[in-house]
Structure 1
Amino acid sequence: MKKIFCIACIVISMILLTAVYSVSFAADADTPTAGDKLDIKDLVEQVDVLQIVTDMNLKPDQLSFMAARIDFLSQKRDETQKKEKALQLEIREPLMIMRDAFIAGKDVPAEARNAAFAKLKPIKQTRQDMQTAFNDAANSCVDMLDDGQRRVLGRTADVLSRAQKMIQEIQSVSEDEWPKTMASLAAEIIKVKESDRYGDWQTQVDNVQNLPASEREQAYQNLEGSRKAELDQMQADAEQLLQSVRSANRQVLPIALNKLAGALKSQTELHNQLFGAMVRVLDSPGAPAALKARIEVMKAATDKKAGK
């Protein structure tokens, strides 16, 4: 994405600029805005969140969805902390007995050991449940993105640069060298597609390994046949795309560039990047206020446009 995953320098610059402006123009300020009441840490948090949601071009309903996920996680976190504190109180006494026994060089009472271990398990499960809820919330925020947003977010600078270089190579190579060049470029595209399918293919292999021995050989053959059919289709699609780029005129080159960039971006990698960005927003203490302010401004703009 344009800025979404590399904003550290921007944030640092903003901290410095904010400090300079606060010193230079403090005397000229008339009425403080809501932002003026924030300390630098809160301001950086909100700017970070707003940078991410702006780069994603999120709509008001999507921002509201994220805000609702944050509220849910906040309630879940409070419940988790209360539950864990209660469990910690219960485990304190057996842990103290174990500690004293170790210090005294005595055998640890089995009753205390069993009681401690029995309480450690629900504490661990409580934390895992919280992490699962957080991951589910982040994935749901990724899933809410529409196809258009995903296409735009997938066209990162590195992908666009590679696509542009490929177009130059495709359209400049001679007819004699074209088959060789097309095969090489198609292999590059197929490698990306294979990486996206690897997880599913591995799961299928694992499932076959769990079958009775009498069924495995046929299952492996079926699986290999299915995989080969997929690879053949990938090959055909890649070659068709490259041929269309080679024959594209100047007017349709932007379309060709977008299609090629889409083929060069691993959807698994894109999902991981988007997941990381959503985690950053959901876990930010500045997110609720930042999202609320952005939603209100967007709603006001919509109402004004509609003449309300």
Structure 2
Amino acid sequence: MRHIRLIIIALSVAVFSAHAFEGTRFEHKDWYLACDNTGTCRAAGYAPAALGYGMAIMFSREAGPATQIDAKLFLQLNDGQALPPSVTFLIDNQDLGPIYIDKGSQLNAIQVQALLAVVTTNAVIEVGAGRQRWGISGHGASAVFRKMDEYQGRSNTPFAVVAKGSKLESQVSPAKAPLRLAAQAPLANGVTLEVGSAAYNEVLQLLTTHVAASELDFELQSASLETAELGEGKRFIGACWFMAYNALCNHWLADKNRPNQLIALGSDGFYDDGMARQDRKARGYGDCWENQAWVFDGQSMVPTLISSTGPCRGIAGGIDPMPTYITDVTFSFKQ
């Protein structure tokens, strides 16, 4: 009877620790957090604005008990200054060794642990080369790491970053595998139609007949039109409008079995190699990117990626991708 009870308790703990990772973003002061649907979190702290350079340190941690935390430095100097091959990592002016920019800019394990021990305090965190120093802000770190602990279900455990406690780390939610999607590859890649061609006029007529102007942000006559044959009589149609820094696209599904109906698709961007992708550039002190992608599953376009390269903080293009939603896509081919 005792053994049965223990098994029931163990199963209860397993059920209790199960966690649905749905993806989240959180920003507070000079820190930013993005956690994806597998449970992996990425937190980044930035240099205060208007210091004449861009700097960030990004921490990455997978979900699951006792997972390690990795950290990477991002540094961009203004006025055409070249980056040195390495910089010295400093906490409160104490030399903690080099970070090799020409070898990936990764912090070693000792540097990561030293940084995590003080990042939520008023410690001065810098890197330097010669007489030059560049630093990140600690403002917002505590809130971001607390949110990260909560998301991964490790609050009140010994391995939490901020919210440490005595709860067993074995109860922390394990990582989730990304959703597996079966995508239908097109018979041929997307083709941008030449304005005034017979194919362009045919698609334009189809859209103007079946799409209400109220459903569009711009006139169809000013759009760039593209199509892709998806097989089984289905065709992808895209209309894109170009703006100063980005493009906005509307997508539809045409089916020869339903010639009088177009199905609006909830995707955006340009269609290429079976995937519609929207890479939108934000404007700020250093451009950064918002990225989304969709694939056709035989019926509609379904999302496969939601990601960004963090806030615009003086680092051209932003830092490494910080997704909130990822998938595992496999393509099948149909005639």
TM-score (norm: length of structure 1): 0.23
Higher relative contact order by CA 8 Å / sep ≥ 6: 1 or 2? 1
Judging by fraction of residues, say which structure has more helix.
1
Q: Name the larger-Rg structure.
A: 1
Judging by fraction of residues, say which structure has more strand.
2
TM-score (norm: length of structure 2): 0.21
